[in-house]
């Protein structure tokens, strides 16, 4: 067996460390490029839209809100009509608020009951 002197051993370790450093740098550069690409505004918007498409909770929430607002609006229009006095307008606004909250709360309860089944 041949003996390895300390200088040869040191040179070998230096080469291994340089290879490791080069490899780590490549990995770091690739990760940087991936991060840079994911932070572009168009990619952030695309990811948000994909998340929205996949999320049933958001869809249900928007549906509940839309139903509530539409129901409240219709209630207001039925009460106030086109030409109404100040008292009728105020009472129609209050009823619109109450109907909107009622429909939204009922929709949430129905949604929760569906999840339990």
CB 38 within 8 A of CB 81: no
CB 61 within 8 A of CB 107: no
Confidence of residue 5 (pLDDT cuts 50, 70, 90): confident
**Mean pLDDT throughout 85-96?**
84
| Total-model pTM | 0.45
Give the model's pLDDT for residue 70.
Answer: 87
Give the model's pLDDT for residue 53.
Answer: 81
- Residue 34, H or E segment: helix 6-38
Distance CA 50, CA 47 (A): 5
Q: Which two three-digit tokens encode residue 56?
A: 């049933």
Confidence of residue 21 (pLDDT cuts 50, 70, 90): very high
Distance CA 22, CA 5 (A): 26
Look over the chain and give the mean of its residue pLDDT values, rounded to a whole number.
Answer: 84
Q: State the distance between the two ends of the chain, measured CA to CA, in whole angstroms.
A: 76
């Amino acid at each position: 067996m041949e003996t390895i002197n300390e200088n040869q051993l040191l040179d070998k370790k230096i080469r291994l460390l340089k290879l490791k450093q080069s490899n780590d740098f490549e990995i770091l550069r690739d990760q940087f490029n991936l991060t840079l690409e994911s932070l572009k505004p168009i990619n952030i918007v695309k990811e948000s839209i994909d998340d929205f498409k996949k999320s049933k909770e958001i869809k249900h929430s928007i549906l509940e809100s839309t139903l509530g607002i539409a129901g409240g609006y219709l209630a207001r229009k039925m009460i106030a009509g086109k030409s109404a006095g100040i008292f009728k307008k105020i009472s129609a606004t209050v009823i619109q608020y109450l109907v909107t909250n009622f429909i939204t709360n009922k929709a949430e309860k129905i949604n929760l009951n569906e999840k339990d089944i």
